[in-house]
Chain A
């Protein structure tokens, strides 16, 4: 279990950086969603990476910070409603933040994210700013997806 102090150290560490361009790609199931994965380097050397996923059909966008030992510790969801352990519905724009008592089950509404799910690149910039990640590269827009599926 990741101690709270360690999580706070990770999230407040301003040396977190991504040194490559980010391109969206098909997932392993070739689903309507596209995704990416990018390694995070830092002076502290925590084993971290970011995953992103965007489903244009459902207009759901997720950016998640993954710790290799603890799993997901921080994530932004857009277009996806959430219910906290106390029963409160948080809404379609919410952020999961690690808490050693409830892990990542508690979410809140982030006021710093203003771009909509349909603008993944703009949301990425806002996510990086809040998570203190410097992206020394470019993020390409997700490729267009065939919206009319043949079932």
Chain B
């Protein structure tokens, strides 16, 4: 009867397979990317120095899942943090580490594998996976700027109907109603714009007098859904902001002067 510890010691290594490709040793690990694809690492020895790398596979895998063209600042920061924790270097889109003289290869492989898993798990933060909505992102952004706000505030329109405002911000210099426009479908884009137009029209009386509330239509333009007509339509009745330009959006709701 073999003890569990002995069995682990004897068999864990069998979970890794090595082969040769383009001058590298490919190490096929037992770990998986979030979609089930198998994680491979690569080893190269030059002048006695062993380098382990993913040869860019992890960020390549991540890019192939995304709607957006570039990683967000938040995703970049998370990757830097992961690499810092695990002592991993980023070089030309590759995660890599140089194996130290006294470091067992098994330890280095585990460290790099953990980094690839953590980085690929950023997939869970993608909006298409429904784990974080644009509303949550905007709420987080306003919180970071320390702009007080209420979410989903009910406002009675001139028509007598109740309108729900995504965000009501209160900055010392400016209060604002913010409606967020986000959809994955071109077919739904026009209907969304019409709905926001109706909300602004119905609540326009609130802009009169001392309650100078700014109306902001915030387009989630990380998806290429909207047309120029959509923007122009809402420009006539509100300020238009774009989620890809957060600094301009911030200036609208929290003007510096």
List residues of chain A with CB under 8 Å of any chain B CB: 1, 27-33, 35, 37, 45, 47, 51, 53, 55-60, 62, 64, 66-72, 75, 77, 80-85, 89, 96, 104-107, 147-148, 151
Contact = CB atoms under 8 A, between A and B. Distances in A.
Interface residues of B, number: 48
A77 B206 CA distance: 55
B28 interface: yes
Given A29-B92, A82-B38, A104-B35, A68 B224 contact: yes
Given A82-B35, A147-B23, A151-B98, 6 more contacts: A27-B63, A28-B69, A29-B92, A58-B40, A71-B129, A80-B37
B60 A55 contact: yes
Given A68-B224, A71-B65, A47 B70 contact: no
Given A57-B22, A83-B32, A64 B60 contact: no
B203 interface: no
Interface string B61-81: 001111101110000000000
B249 interface: no
Contact of A32 (B28, B55, B224): B55
A83 B36 contact: yes
A60 B57 contact: yes
A60 B32 CA distance: 16
Contacts of A27: 59-60, 63, 93
Contacts of A45: 186-187
A27 B128 CA distance: 21
17 contacts: A28-B71, A29-B59, A31-B60, A31-B92, A31-B93, A37-B69, A55-B56, A55-B60, A58-B55, A58-B57, A64-B65, A68-B67, A69-B183, A69-B184, A75-B64, A81-B40, A105-B36
Nearest to A77: B37
A75 B48 CA distance: 40
B126 interface: yes
Contacts of B91: 151
Contacts of B60: 27, 31, 33, 35, 53, 55, 60, 62
B24 interface: yes
Please give me the 4 A-B residue pairs with the lowest Cβ-Cβ distance, nearest first: A69-B184, A31-B93, A29-B93, A71-B128
A70 B128 contact: yes
User: Helix, strand, loop or mixed for chain A's interface?
Assistant: loop
Contacts of A82: 35-38
Nearest to A63: B64
B55 A85 contact: no
B35 A96 contact: yes
Nearest to B224: A68
A104 B21 CA distance: 28
Nearest to B130: A1
Nearest to B24: A57
B167 interface: no
Given A31-B60, A58-B57, A60-B57, A68 B223 contact: yes
B110 to A, nearest CB: 19
A104 B33 CA distance: 12
A147 B5 CA distance: 42
Interface string B15-46: 00000011110101000100111101010101
Contacts of B26: 58
Contacts of B92: 29-32
Nearest to A85: B36
Nearest to B60: A33
Given A27-B63, A68-B225, A71-B129, A33 B56 contact: yes
B96 interface: yes
